[in-house]
Amino acid sequence: MKKTFTLFLFLIATIALQLSWLRIFGWTPEFLIALLVAITIFVNLHEMALFVLLAAALVDWQPMLSMDMLALLLIPFFIFALRRASPWNIWAGTALFAILSVCIFYAAAGIPREVLGSRIFILNGLLSAALSIGFVFLLKVVGLRPERRLFAR
């Protein structure tokens, strides 16, 4: 229960940070995607579903389900499965999966190819990787332990 509550607080704070940052600066680091990638280490499938749905409910911006929203709902599960099927070390895997998630998300959102290939976008991906690693570190500091199944192989 402590884990669920801790992750709930992290999620709310992250969404608040992302929306406020976007309002103030007109651009935001990918806090939410980075956090969703980070928590795939600490949760089981049911908890993953809870946090992904909660995130989607809080950031959804239109009545119809859009491709962006569908991507936000599915990417964490894809990363969740990938983590358990791949031999990557936690830190390297987190960085790689954060970059991958940002690329998949914006490609699904229909962002033009010239933007996806721009220097800003690449920097955004690298920043997301750093943020995701930061979240993993913070979650460990507050006492969460990675799921044992991560090390099953």
Partner 1 sequence: MAERGILAFLIILLTVLVFAQPYLAWPVRHMFERSAGLTDANKLAIDNESLRAENAILRERNTVIPPQFSSEKEANVFVRYPFNYKKELLIDIGKNSDVKEGDTVLLPDTSSGEKRGILVGRVESVQDKTSLVQLIFDSRLRIGVRIGDQGVEALLTGGDTPKLTLIPKSAQVGSGNIVYAASANLPYGVVIGEIKDVSLADGGLLQEATLRFPYELSDIKTVVVTR
Given the rule CB under 8 A, which residues bind partner 1? 1, 4, 15-16, 18-20, 22-24, 26-28, 30, 32, 46-47, 49-50, 53-54, 56-65, 68-69, 73, 105-106, 109-112, 115, 124
Angle at 50 between CA 49 and CA 54, to 5 degrees: 115
Closest CA to 51 of 37, 65, 62, 64: 37
Q: 146 in helix, strand or coil?
A: coil
Cβ-based nearer residue to partner 1, 15 or 126: 15
Minimum CB–partner distance for residue 17 and partner 1 (Å): 9
- For the chain, the first-to-last Cα distance in angstroms comes to 27
Minimum CB–partner distance for residue 31 and partner 1 (Å): 10
Q: Cα separation of 19 and 138, whole Å?
A: 21
The number of beta carbons lying within 10 Å of the beta carbon of residue 142 is: 12
Cβ-based nearer residue to partner 1, 50 or 126: 50
Residue with tokens 């750093």, as numbered in its chain: 130
Closest CA to 98 of 43, 45, 44, 32: 32
Minimum CB–partner distance for residue 88 and partner 1 (Å): 26
Cβ-based nearer residue to partner 1, 65 or 92: 65
Minimum CB–partner distance for residue 77 and partner 1 (Å): 13
Minimum CB–partner distance for residue 20 and partner 1 (Å): 6
Cβ-based nearer residue to partner 1, 49 or 150: 49
Residue type, 60: D
Cβ-based nearer residue to partner 1, 5 or 151: 5
